[in-house]
Structure 1
Amino acid sequence: MRLDSNVLSRANRMKLVMQFGVGLEGVDIDAAATCGIRVARIPSDVTGNATSCAEMSIYLMLGLLRKQHELQTAVQQKKLGEPIGDTLFGNTVFILGYGNIGIELAKRLKPFGVRIIATKRNWALHSNGGIIHDLVDEKGSHEEIHKFAGKADIVVCCLCMNKETAGIVNNSFLSSMRKGSLLLNIARGGLLDYSAVFDHLKSGHLGGLGIDVAWTEPFDPDDPILKFNNVIITPHVAGVTEHSYRSMAKVVGDVALQLHAGYPLTGIELVS
């Protein structure tokens, strides 16, 4: 649903647009401000959304490492002991965008015996430096993403989608990745350049792709990129769990009551 200026200008009684989650790319925030409508998102760190997305990332990693499609083929063909997969243990994981989801992912990856590297625009602004220093083996700035991509066996895209990050995983970024490394995206489909990803899968440079988000949604099940045996896609369900949905629903209800009573709004992040 797109809340553009045409819709918002007609919403004479509207006071607040609240995203049931994090992404606000469907809302024209400037138009909302012009109309006197506040816009907010639900922070992922307090609702279990980040936790759910982190778990999905690990699901996709393991699915690619253990060759999920080939496993199913082996079952159908009554073969045992194949294919030979790989372990998460010993790999270097690059968390591209170390926010709430990245932190929850790092917490869960550490027991697997991986090396964690991460980039973030401003580490100094983070609210919990202790967690950062304990979990991340190497920290970098956003300007170093290509260098970090070259050090990783697995890259997990956790960036917010905006004008600066759209298509950021492009030909240059993918070429800087190690041959055979894996790419995961649990943020927004538009962060990845479709043609570049397709070409790197076709050439064999990219060892596998795991995505919970796609370039258009719902994604065409007959799209050529899904023909590759080393591609796993899920239908934008990383944050769709009973835990996260119940938690986010409670925030929505609480804020509605606060708004009705004229109290200050808590539990959400106002962006306008």
Structure 2
Amino acid sequence: MELGGLGSWDKKSTEMAVTSEVDEVGLEQVPDVIQNYHICVVKNRRIDSDIIAKATQMKIIMQYGVGLEGVDINAATEHKIKVARIPGSTTGNAVSCAEMAIYLTLGVLRKQKEMDTAVNRKDLGVPVGDTLFGKTILILGFGAIGIEVARRLRPFGVKVLATKRNWSSDTLPCDVDDMVDKKGGPEDMYEFAGEANIVITCMALNNETVGIVDQKFLSSMQKGSYLVNIARGRLLDYNAVLDNLKSGHLAGLGIDVAWMEPFDPEDSILKFPNVIITPHVAGVTEYSYRTMAKSVGDTALQLHSGEPFTGIEFVN
């Protein structure tokens, strides 16, 4: 469902069954119809305070995924509307994003753009790429996605460093010590960056993390190291990344998210031969979409029946 994938229902007194109406609504139409619905499922769109104010029957706004940057949570709270995300650890989103992180990491190491050029030129045996084997990798943000990234990295014969605000969390897997060689907090990110050949950002975007991969951080990375971002584009300071690509301090950049979306194909950063980008599809797989769809359907049924909600995480 796109934004405006909105649902309403009626209870048939004879059958005691739920009939639902699910509509896909273009963004420009949402303000005119949102008052008719009880659930709004947001996908790659914004729900601002003006739209929320018109949602007079709305009970729940859900993100079709993990991030909630597109929803004005304060406005929803003011209008007594619950806002929920679907945890990536339960839907396959974290697994899908982790696989994309590996894909992008291998892509920059093996010089994907240069390989495409070589094929077009009918060249063989070039370019000379690099291996994951033997590398030290820093995972910034060891949440659901970071955990799955670490699991998939271990068989490559790498050393894994990771930062997390709270390592005593009950959500950490019991085998975390087998996945991570060195653990630290946000205060350790610069030291860890100096030890790593590759940095993979898996952080949530908030006021504290906007632009956290800035000139100070990039300067602390080894010359010739690689940066991969499958979280949110604005975690990276655009000008700092551009400058470090120009100087050659960064050997490569792999991103599934950008500073402005939709992506500008004429963006200067995309012109570098050592930069590869995918169109915000890390979590877009048949597996993750199927499981997220089930969570949405279950939520609608639970709201209708008054049963406790399962499979979603409320933020207000």
Q: Same fold by TM-score, threshold 0.5 exceeded?
A: yes
Other structure's SS at 1:238 match? coil
1:210 is matched with 254
Can you list the C-alpha shifts for 1:78-101, whole angstroms capped at 9, x where unaligned? 211111111100000100000000
2:84 is matched with 40
Deviation, structure 1 residue 76: 1.5
1:198 alignment partner, one of 216, 225, 242: 242
Equivalent position amino acid for 1:142 in 2: P
2:154 is matched with 110
Deviation, structure 1 residue 129: 4.6
1:170 alignment partner, one of 206, 209, 214: 214
> Residues of 1 paired with 2:171 and 2:46: CA distance?
32
Q: Which structure 2 residues correspond to residues 55-204 of structure 1 after superposition, within 5 A?
A: 55-204=99-248
> Residues of 1 paired with 2:171 and 2:55: CA distance?
36
Deviation, structure 1 residue 144: 1.1
Q: With the length of structure 2 as denominator, give the TM-score of the two structures.
A: 0.85
Runs of 4+ in 1 over 3 A off after TM superposition: none
> Residues of 2 paired with 1:266 and 1:77: CA distance?
54
Task: Extract unaligned runs of 5+ from structure 2.
Answer: 1-44
Give me the CA root mean square deviation: 0.8
1:228 is matched with 272
Stretch moving more, 128-137 or 93-102? 128-137
> Residues of 1 paired with 2:172 and 2:114: CA distance?
41
Deviation, structure 1 residue 128: 3.0
Is 2:65 the counterpart of 1:21?
A: yes
Equivalent position amino acid for 1:40 in 2: A
The structure that has the greater radius of gyration is 2
Can you list the C-alpha shifts for 1:25-70, whole angstroms capped at 9, x where unaligned? 1111111111000011000001110000000011101111111111
Stretch moving more, 147-156 or 76-85? 76-85
> Residues of 1 paired with 2:147 and 2:185: CA distance?
16
Stretch moving more, 67-76 or 108-117? 67-76
Identity %: 65
Equivalent position amino acid for 2:102 in 1: I
Structure with the greater relative contact order (CA < 8 A, sep ≥ 6): 1 or 2?
1
Can you list the C-alpha shifts for 1:14-33, whole angstroms capped at 9, x where unaligned? 00011110111111111111
